[in-house]
Structure 1
């Protein structure tokens, strides 16, 4: 009879038999010098990034296109030297901004376009250092300020920033999701960080488009899942590391397109497996409920498993 102790002992052995991946890349094309990069194309020197194209020097970005030197940018395009930018287009040197277009050196601003060196603006356009200008005046003065050295502009913006309070959290468009930071358009979520478009979830970090999930990091598009890391497109899974497109599975590592797997590593396109051994559906459904009940009753969690 397979007990919880024997299960974890064998799972640790299986995990130790597999060589560790030098880099974590999934469904990428023409990707060099990258790690923890998923579903990306034509990116260079990119880390903790997914679904981004034609970019370089990115860290922790999601759905970012034709951009460079950006950190924590989401759904943005044609951006350079931006940090914590959400839905921005053709912008340079933004910091904590949302829904910006054709703007430069702005901080804590949202829903603006054609702004330069502004702080804490909402729904504005054609402003330079928070001064409202006409469209003609803005276009006349912009080349002059664009010729400044970046450090000179940032110094001026820093001086301007002393006139405004700094909020302790960064959030936009959330519903009943008060606890967390850098959260955008989440609904009924609790203690989320660097997260967007999640629903009915909690304890998320660097997570996007998840529903009814808890204790997840660096993962997206999962449903009904718990204790997940570096994974995508899971359904009803728990204790998962570096796996994608799996369902109804537990304690799986580096698996893809699997369902009804329990305690497996390195499997692809498999079902009804326990500890990498193929079983019949009847055998699987007889063993797993008993094993899972013992693991839960003893509150094993991850057990001795390390990755």
Structure 2
């Protein structure tokens, strides 16, 4: 087959021919940010050859940091629309240099992204030219799926209905403040899937009418569960399987259990806080298996589910033959992905229903894109932003197929010679400062001084001015018991002094608390979501050797030696909980 990019292919072949590999066919490298050594496996080298990209210059952990720096998941602000001049809620801070438009306008056909096209200048850095394009072209205030219904105040989500302040979620309904998939009628959930009627549930699946439950599955009508499976009518329990009417891991009769539960008024904040503290102590008695993987064949990482041949990946499901991926469903033959679903043969990107995308963010139903932002239903585009249903475009300018490949050959060959091709976007192109990025929510990436040392932008964020002159009350003055909360609370601005944030309650939320007897939360929604993310732990991947306290064998685990949790080898764990 005749190459469409002969100059680039020749230069890249010469690059690979000149690599000095070890006897296994891999190579040790030094991360250009952190200075740490990292190993590129022989199978990694073969993948990069197939993808036609040079070897990475950043360690896997620093590649994660760089992509995460481009995402603001849950910090929202009031900004002025560059389209209408009206105040809108946006994921960009008030001092953003970008042109922010209402998402309904941005997603519509009322404008043409090709009007912002730029001609490639071979005498200037590709990344600098791309940055100029991103500053000129409008960006949406929020990434709200046009298919979502009554869910305007959501971000980076798909097919929602009646959702509010929900992020990175899919096909959920009547949910507030959290991260959901296929879930209904829930508040303050994180990593909650296929569930209905829940509050403060964390990384759990198939729950119904469950509250304050963590790492549990197929449970109903329960409170404060940790690592429980197929349980119902249980309160304050850990490591249970197929149990009913248990209190503090002890069996009770139906009447005795119901009488105990009736005495506990969780609608009172002081009572709820008391049990939350007791739950934290109870969790210290729980045993843990080496990782959170389920049905992960020939795979390493954490939270890898129903997947095979996935290496050093986290939070992936139904995936195969991939490595260094962080979040996503149905990822195949891809490396270094940062979220998305149904992705194949892709690299260093975030995408949905796409094939062959490299160095792209927010690509949807596209194929063979490189270095693009926000492109949907596109094919063979390079360095483009916000295009829909386009082919053969560069910097948002339309070319014929012949012109496209001729110019692409020139651009990629020059980028390779300049050390740009094969690198993800530099941090100065990130649409937000690092201190607003999702990276700050993960242990290991939350040190601002380290980020600044690596060249990430750290900025003071001006406060959004509240234009409504409603009464402001402090969290501490709110009624402790939900039974004493009137609808007047809906007309007040709540000041969370501890976290220096203002927020409001909405009627749907207060009605939920009343119906399920839950006290008003004492912290603002943004802080609550941030704390949930931090609770999930680090995404910096390391394997540790520990000794099983049950049988004495040495085993590998994601839990470091200084982690106080009780960790068993998998055989001992299964004997303990099954």
TM-score after normalising by structure 2: 0.48
Residue 129 of structure 2 is matched in structure 1 by 10
User: Is 2:295 aligned against 1:176?
Assistant: no
Residue 384 of structure 2 is matched in structure 1 by 264
Aligned counterpart for 1:91 among listed residues 180, 191, 210: 210
Q: CA RMSD in A?
A: 2.7
Shift of 1:142: 6.2
Shift of 1:268: 0.9
User: Is 2:371 aligned against 1:248?
Assistant: no
Residue 503 of structure 2 is matched in structure 1 by none
Say whether the 8 Å CA contact 1:172–1:184 is kept in structure 2.
yes
Residue 101 of structure 1 is matched in structure 2 by 220
Q: Within 5 A, what are the aligned runs for 1:188-207?
A: 188-207=309-328
Residue 210 of structure 1 is matched in structure 2 by 331
Shift of 1:85: 1.2
Shift of 1:243: 2.6
Residue 358 of structure 2 is matched in structure 1 by 238
Other structure's SS at 2:194 match? coil
Mapped partners of 1:268, 1:150: distance in 2? 49
Which structure: greater helix fraction? 2
Mapped partners of 1:152, 1:9: distance in 2? 55
Other structure's SS at 2:349 match? strand
Aligned counterpart for 1:26 among listed residues 145, 159, 175: 145
User: Is 2:429 aligned against 1:306?
Assistant: yes
Residue deviations 1:229-263, cap 9 Å, x none?
Answer: 3x322211111112311111111111111111111
Shift of 1:103: 2.4
Residue 287 of structure 1 is matched in structure 2 by 407
Shift of 1:168: 5.8
Structure 1 gap segments, 5+ residues each: none
Mapped partners of 2:318, 2:221: distance in 1? 25
Say whether the 8 Å CA contact 1:2–1:291 is kept in structure 2.
no
Residue deviations 1:176-208, cap 9 Å, x none?
Answer: 22323x333232212222332222222222322
User: Is 2:200 aligned against 1:78?
Assistant: no
Larger relative contact order (Cα-Cα within 8 Å, sequence gap ≥ 6): 2
Other structure's SS at 1:214 match? coil
TM-score after normalising by structure 1: 0.86
Other structure's SS at 1:260 match? strand
- Select the structure of larger CA radius of gyration: 2
Mapped partners of 2:410, 2:260: distance in 1? 69
Say whether the 8 Å CA contact 2:359–2:425 is kept in structure 1.
no
Shift of 1:41: 1.9
Give the paired residue count: 303
Other structure's SS at 1:217 match? coil
Q: Within 5 A, what are the aligned runs for 1:151-166?
A: 151-166=273-288
Change in CA separation of 1:111 and 1:224 when aligned onto 2, cut-off 3 Å: farther
Change in CA separation of 1:178 and 1:9 when aligned onto 2, cut-off 3 Å: closer
User: Is 2:185 aligned against 1:62?
Assistant: no
Shift of 1:163: 3.1
Residue deviations 1:125-150, cap 9 Å, x none?
Answer: 3322212345x457644643654543
Other structure's SS at 2:367 match? coil
Residue 185 of structure 1 is matched in structure 2 by 306
Mapped partners of 1:138, 1:274: distance in 2? 70
Mapped partners of 2:194, 2:242: distance in 1? 19
